Structure 1
Amino acid sequence: MTSTRTFIAAGSIAVMAATSAPSAHAREPFTDDVASRTQALALLETLNADLLSHPSATLTLERWCSDHALAGDAKILARQVKGQDKPLPADDRQTLAIGPDEPVKYRRVQLACGDHVLSEADNWYVPSRLTPEMNQILDTTDQPFGKVVQPLHFRRQTISADLLWSPLPKGWEMAAPLPPATKGPLAIPHELLRHRAVLFTEANQPFSLVVETYTAEVLAFGRR
């Protein structure tokens, strides 16, 4: 696992990806060679930077879906995973600045664009810090959390951002051995990035803790 602090920010990688990749509408699957691995790494860095620089992961994924033609209608739907509950860890009550008896709700969702599940998220939130209307929408619909709470003018503070898979080995820029190329598609694991963040109201009051895991579907260009 590699912390976001060690993400490679080499401009030459991004340029190579931008100039050598075909358009998003006709992109072939990533192949198992150095050029394709470099493009995949540049794209992961781009997505990570975009997520870190915007308060709403939902809106960021919606732009990503549109820019890369992942669906005809680039809208993010939060599919709730019913029947699951995860208690908020005791240490995280301090993170949310709440006492031991303050009610906390848990929401497990998959953020999907078309047929692509781009993110799987655990969300613990403090209902007393939302409006009654927001709580009703969250309880009764699949609307994404970020869109529902937009009227709070919230900001996002990232606690950690981890690259769970790197297409290139550690030290590749220092001439570490590269994987041998094959004729097949590049094997991409299901989980690629994981962010842990706290959302704050405009009055700087924490109201939500989210753990978001971004999947290989963020790189499924041209597959609808």
Structure 2
Amino acid sequence: MHRKRHLSASITRAGIVALPLLYSLTATAREPADPHWVDDPYSRMKAMAMLQSLNADLLSHPSATLTLERWCGTHHLARDAKVVARVVKGADKPLPEGAREQLAIGMDEPVRYRQVQLVCGGLVLSEADNWYVPSRLSEAMNQELDHSDTPFGKVVQALHFRRQTLAAELLWSPLPAGWDAGTPLPPATRHPLDIPAHVLQHRALLVSGDNHPFSLVVESYTANVLAMPSALLSPTP
């Protein structure tokens, strides 16, 4: 989905984006990617830098699909670094609290739900929850959304919409609170680094050219964005 991103979204510790990579890294592409990270300070610092880098890329480029495609290729997540959208048929979720106010609609206004996964080489990289107001779309748009896998942004592009980012947040921090003020990192272990299913989330409104909000989108990026081959995860001697 094409969108205008805003770098002012609230991400804590944004300065980590500039962390230099301290070691040269080599890898060979393979599929599926190896998600194994060892729990040590190097891995934690690298994971944080990568999440902040991905977040900055998503916020500063208009297409999440193309951004993830570049990410997939650069980090060897799949042999064929092509991202495809997959509509989850029959999915349903209630509107988040406060969504009707954000969409500027009454309690009786119908709202539809669509869930789409962005997939690269069999890896689901993100899951997008989309609540939209059908009365603010044309009948042809609603029909296409009901009966095809066409990306939402392409379907509604005639609305000349803009994206208003409401929030962007890390759902998981590899580093402890206060790490940049001297809090020590956890000691190295021989165990895998415990990474949750979702690591980053963006929330945004889509607003038509005549200033009517018509869609609330919540994009949750999965741990698979870190599922690169193991050769990329350790410093070379």
Cα deviation for residue 137 of structure 1 reads 2.6
Please, which of 138, 151, 162 is the counterpart of residue 155 of structure 1?
Answer: 162
1:49 matched to 2:41: no
- How far apart in 2 are the matches of 1:171 and 1:24? 36
Paired letter, 1:222: P
Question: Secondary structure in 2 aligned to 1:37?
Answer: helix
Taking structure 2 as the reference length, what is the TM-score of the superposition?
A: 0.79
Q: Secondary structure at the match of 1:30?
A: coil
1:137 aligns with 2:141: no
Closer, same or farther: CA 67–11 of 1 in aligned 2, 3 Å: closer
Residues 126 and 63 (structure 1 numbering): CA distance in 2 closer, same or farther, change over 3 Å? farther
Structure 1: how far apart are the matches of 2:169 and 2:17?
Answer: 20
| 2:175 matched residue in structure 1 | 168
Secondary structure of residue in 1 paired with 2:165: strand
Deviations 1:111-157 (A, max 9, x none): 21221111122110122333444323321222332343344443221
- Cα distance, 1:194–1:64 mapped onto 2, change above 3 Å: same
DSSP 3-state at the match of 2:143: helix
Which residue identity does 1:4 align to in structure 2? S
Aligned length: 219
Unaligned runs of 5+ in 1: none
1:62 is aligned to 2:66? no
2:233 is matched with none
Counterparts in 2 of 1:87 and 1:166: CA distance versus 1, 3 Å? closer
Paired with 2:16 and 2:126, the residues of 1 have a C-alpha distance of 26
Q: Tell me: higher relative CO, structure 1 or 2? Use CA pairs within 8 A at least 6 residues apart.
A: 2
Match of 2:82 among 75, 90, 93: 75
The residue that corresponds to 1:8 in the other structure is 14
Contact 2:163 2:204 in 1 (8 A): yes
- Aligned residue number for residue 188 of structure 1: 195
> 1:49 offset after TM fit, Å?
1.4
Structure 2 residue runs without a partner (length 5+): 1-8, 231-237
Higher helix content, 1 or 2:
1
CA 1:33–1:89: 2 relative to 1, 3 Å: closer
The 8 Å contact of residues 75 and 114 in structure 1, kept in 2 or not, is answered as yes
Rounded to whole Å, the distance in 1 between the matches of 2:158 and 2:70 is 20
Equivalent residue number for residue 99 of structure 1: 106
